[in-house]
Amino acid sequence: MDELFTKQEISWLDDVDKEGKVINPKHELYGKSIENTVLHMPAASGSTVGADKLVYLSINGHAPKKIILERLDPITMWGAIMGKIDVEIKGKEKKPVDISKIEKLGVDKEIAELLARAGELLGTDEFIPADYVQISGVSYKTVLDTGLELRRYLASKYKFRASNVTINPAGMDTEDWQAIGISADFAEKQNEIIDAYIKMGALPTITCTPYLVGSTPPPFTDAFLSESSVVVFENSMLAVRTNREAGLSTLLYAIAGYGPRYGLHIQSNRNPKIKIKVETKLSGVLDFGLLGYKIGELAKGRIPYITGIDRIPSIEEIKELGAAGAASGSIDLFHMEGITPEARYKMISTDGIEETFEIDRKELDSLKDMLNTGSAEEIDLVAIGCPHASINEVKEVAMLLKGKRIKEGKELWITTSRIVKDIAKRLGYLKIIEDAGGHVVADTCVVVSPIENLGFSTTATNSGKAAKYLPRFSKQKVVFNTVSELVQKIVA
């Protein structure tokens, strides 16, 4: 059996194709197949739907035989557990977990066995109530047929015991899917996945910004969240305690009503390990996204402590920073001097900082150049709203489009939650945007919907996270700039 070694994290969603080949040209395993190998890797980065991809690879015979992780990684771990792939964490003894202890919590035997397997790898037999759960792995494009099958099976057997369960964006606007060109076959499978979640007891929030639509755990509460941008936002800004769970683990914890206590549930594990000195003034969403992206690349799984931010950033700036950092690396939590609650109220210690990095304007500018792989003339689609747009972001686009018309052959989508779309309608922004020829698209985004099949080749975005995923996962060239620059490029 071949052994493959990498020091680079793997994003299961977009670094590896459906046949198990590494397709990221910047990855040191580029061009190699992971099928039937013993794969030594640090951990997964990026999307938490990666666990579903591993299950898919396993069922189709393209997965590694064994994965040896350098550090604890719920995404790879849960993909391996559900895909029946041998997995271990280097240097960590598996700690046997007594299944009957989990069953005594009222958890069904089948689910208790899976939780015990996770507890063994995580090194904990402590299971705490999972009342607040947010589940990724909703889009049919990301979970594929194997994911649909699994959710169909679970919904036929179980109801959620967790009381507050929200779900991530789907692969389409659930009401207006025909208007954006989604096929009937895709829509049918997508609706089946959403119906399965609702049948089990989820709220159909269908958004990656539940904190913008009134659904957040209280501060300092233990939660089990899986969408990577939600994890970093709620851990950092709201002091919620969550690990970056896999979509699959949150699904099972919601059924069990319990999840394991480990990692970021424990206060002493929330101390920063690297310091980031920001040596330039930041202005607006694009700058904060660039900063987050850069920090993600430097962090290598470590918690950053950010200094040099001279004002409290807006919600939109913070959501971009976290989303980009979670996508480019695996930032689950950051602290910002004098701003984020645990830094502000001195709940963390900076004594364990191992390394300091300085980030200046030159670095942000060169990163921006690197993310631009297409030209303004080639833009087919301008996509705003990753993570899902706030009402302020919808308003900004509406004001830029007022009285103008989008050029023939170009499209504009603002992706957001249905609640924000309804508010935009009430405030008249929806009409302004639609009169100009644009769309406010609810329940989905350009990464998890199949835009590569809708005739788009070059997508323009102001989101570092979207710029990271669009090239390989949606086969797009990317134009990366501010909202106003992008809108100007496509209006007559």
- Write down the least CB distance from residue 152 to ligand F3S, Å: 22
Cβ atoms of residues 387 and 208 within 8 Å: yes
Place of tokens 């350098």: 70
Helix (H, G, I), strand (E, B) or coil at 37: coil
We find the least distance from the C-beta atom of residue 387 to ligand F3S, in angstroms, to be 4
Cis-peptide, bond into residue 387, ω within 30° of zero? yes
Work out how close the CB of 474 gets to ligand F3S at its nearest, in angstroms, rounded to a whole number. Answer: 10
Beta-strand relationship, 164-167 and 132-135 = parallel
Tell me: does residue 447 bind ligand F3S (CB under 6 A).
yes
Of 104-112, 257-265, 385-393, 399-407, the segment contacting ligand F3S by CB under 6 A is 385-393
Pull the structure tokens for residue 176.
Answer: 């207006």
Please say which residue, 20 or 210, places its beta carbon nearer to ligand F3S.
Answer: 210
Q: Which of 206, 323, 343, 478 binds ligand F3S (CB under 6 A)?
A: 323
Q: How many CB atoms within 10 Å of residue 267?
A: 12
Smaller CB separation from ligand F3S, 58 or 142 = 142
From residue 21, alpha-carbon distances to 38, 143, 417 in Å are: 14, 18, 34
Q: How far is the CB of 386 from ligand F3S (least distance, A)?
A: 3
Of 440, 475, 436, the residue nearest 173 (C-alpha): 440
Query: Torsion over CA of 461, 140, 20 and 73, rounded to 10 degrees?
Result: 80
- 53 vs 62 by CB, closer to ligand F3S: 53
Q: Minimum CB separation from ligand F3S for residue 228, in Å?
A: 8
Contact predicate 211/238, CB 8 Å: yes
Q: Which residues contact 247 (CB under 8 A, 6 or more apart)?
A: 48, 49, 51, 52, 135, 136, 137, 138, 143, 168, 226
- Regarding 386 and contact with ligand F3S (CB under 6 A), the answer is yes
Rounded to whole angstroms, the Cα distance separating 491 from 482 reads 15
Closest approach, Cβ 233 to ligand F3S, in A, equals: 10
Site for ligand F3S (CB under 6 A): how many residues?
A: 14
Is residue 194 a contact residue for ligand F3S (CB under 6 A)?
no
For residue 359, give Cα distances in angstroms to 308, 351, 453, 463, 471. Answer: 10, 21, 38, 19, 25
Nearer to ligand F3S by C-beta: 37 or 458? Answer: 458
Residue 417 CB, nearest approach to ligand F3S (Å): 10
Q: Is 62 in the site for ligand F3S (CB under 6 A)?
A: no
User: Which span sits near ligand F3S by CB under 6 A: 2-10, 57-65, 346-354, 381-389?
Assistant: 381-389
Task: Please report, for residues 137, 240, 432, the alpha-carbon distance to residue 435 in angstroms, rounded to integers and kept in the order given.
Answer: 34, 41, 5
Q: Which two tokens stand for residue 114?
A: 């899976």
Of 42, 64, 217, 387, the one binding ligand F3S (CB under 6 A) is: 387
What is the distance between the alpha carbons of residues 394 and 390, in angstroms, rounded to a whole number? 6
Minimum CB distance to ligand F3S, residue 134 (Å)? 11
CB 243 within 8 A of CB 331: no
Site for ligand F3S contains 388 (CB under 6 A): yes
Q: Which of 43, 115, 445, 486 binds ligand F3S (CB under 6 A)?
A: 445
Q: In 60-139, which residue ranges form alpha helices assigned H by DSSP?
A: 74-83, 99-103, 109-122
Taking CB under 6 A as the criterion, the residue among 300, 465, 468, 477 binding ligand F3S is 465
Nearest distance from residue 185's CB to ligand F3S, in Å? 22
Q: How many CB atoms lie within 10 A of CB 84?
A: 10
Judge contact between 85 and 58, C-beta under 8 A: yes
Does position 448 interact with ligand F3S (CB under 6 A)? The reply is yes
Q: Is 441 in the site for ligand F3S (CB under 6 A)?
A: no
Stretch that binds ligand F3S, among 80-88, 111-119, 252-260, 442-450 (CB under 6 A): 442-450
| Contact flag: residue 229 with ligand F3S (CB under 6 A) | yes
DSSP state for residue 46 in the 8-state scheme: S
**Which residues in 64-123 contact ligand F3S (CB under 6 A)?**
none
CB of 168 to ligand F3S, least distance (A): 6
The enclosing H or E element of 331 equals: none
User: Per CB under 6 A, which region of 63-71, 148-156, 213-221, 383-391 contacts ligand F3S?
Assistant: 383-391
Closer to ligand F3S at the Cβ: 80 or 445? 445
Q: Which helix (H) or strand (E) element contains residue 208?
A: none
Question: Which residue's CB is nearer to ligand F3S, number 243 or number 474?
Answer: 474
Three-state secondary-structure class, residue 14: coil
Both tokens assigned to 193: 């996945």
Least distance CB 322 / ligand F3S (angstroms)? 9
For ligand F3S, give the closer residue by CB, 331 or 348.
331
The tokens describing 457, both together, are 């080749």
Chain positions contacting ligand F3S, by CB under 6 A: 168-169, 208, 229, 323, 386-388, 415, 445, 447-448, 465-466
